[in-house]
Amino acid sequence: MNPRLLLSTIVLLAALPLASAQPEPAASAPAASAAASGPHSRAAHVETMRRTHLVRLQEHLEKPEEELHRTCRFESDIATLPPEGVVALTFEAGPEPGHTEAILAVLARHKVPATFFLIAEKARAHPELVAQARALPGAVIGNHSWSHPNFHDIPVAEQAKEVDTADALLHADLGATPLFRYPYGNASCETNERVHTMGYRIVGWHVDSCDWAFDGPKGLSASEALSCGVLPVYRHDFLGHIVASVRAHRGGVVLMHETHDISVDNLDALITRLEAEGYKFSTPSAPEFQASLR
């Protein structure tokens, strides 16, 4: 069998149970249930991450690279080499009560800077956590949209509203750095143009921690590992995967989420290991990373 076709089959088979496992919506769900399964719930985030990763992998397998480039759909994997020996830790989807404080404590203890791409709707709900993040020496706050939708699922006008509304809070009111990261890494040419016009640079990643999948009890499936660039030997080794990927890139922008326990619980060990190997820490806004931004 053609290797591309074989990989496509694996991806499709992996995705099928997700579609069949979706429960039928209740006729009149109580308010408490709606909140528990809302757009920022961890379960909803993981399911959307899994779906978008599999779709991205599927399209890369089936469509010519020039077509993908022309539509701007998947541009978050940074192809430019990072500055050698320099790591930029980035955290998405916060602020997250309980997790944000723990992350900040580890960063402060190691005197390591980091970038926080905040969901503006959550930032409005937790201004005290935003203030704590801004107080961390070297911390950078970036725009991660207003409510974290998949931009491939909404029209261009809604994408613009997500960016503009978040900008009004994060940039205009809180003085955030004009850095933008797409929710789920899913871009559009129209929004690329819009954020550039607003003075933003777009930040992707060299290293995908895949924390959303590692956070489960069973490790990564073969398709999840393939979609995140996780080598088979590291499918059950979150820390080993990140360190190995940083080594392979000789540094780079690392993607993690404030929402996942595994990133919070392993942050101290990750920084300790990278420091022991001689890596320095910076942020994507620093001059040495400008070639890696869009």
Fold of 86-292: TIM Barrel (3.20.20)
| Long-range contacts of 6-14, Cβ-Cβ distance < 8 Å, separation of 24 or more | 7/57, 7/61, 7/226, 8/58, 8/61, 8/62, 10/222, 10/223, 10/226, 11/54, 11/57, 11/58, 11/61, 11/223, 11/226, 11/227, 12/58, 13/223, 14/54, 14/221, 14/222, 14/223, 14/224
Residue pointed to by tokens 């801004």: 134
Residue 286 reports pLDDT greater than 80: yes
* Tokens, residue 44: 């909803």
Asked if residues 38 and 149 have their Cβ atoms less than 8 Å apart, the reply is no
Tell me what pLDDT residue 107 has: 98
Q: Tens digits of per-residue pLDDT, 168-207?
A: 999 877 888 999 999 999 999 999 999 999 999 999 999 9
Indicate the DSSP class of residue 84.
T
Tell me what pLDDT residue 24 has: 32
SS3 (DSSP) at 244:
helix
* Tokens, residue 245: 């990927």
Q: Residue 84 — pLDDT band, cuts 50, 70, 90?
A: very high
Asked if residues 35 and 210 have their Cβ atoms less than 8 Å apart, the reply is no
The amino acid at residue 93 is: A
* Tokens, residue 130: 């935003």
Q: What does pTM read for this prediction? A: 0.83
Q: Residue 55 — pLDDT band, cuts 50, 70, 90?
A: confident
Q: Tens digits of per-residue pLDDT, 89-105?
A: 999 999 999 999 999 99
Q: Which helix (H) or strand (E) holds 267?
A: helix 261-276
What DSSP string runs through 117-173?
EE-HHHHHH-HHHHHHHHHSTT-EEEE--SS---GGGS-HHHHHHHHHHHHIIIIII
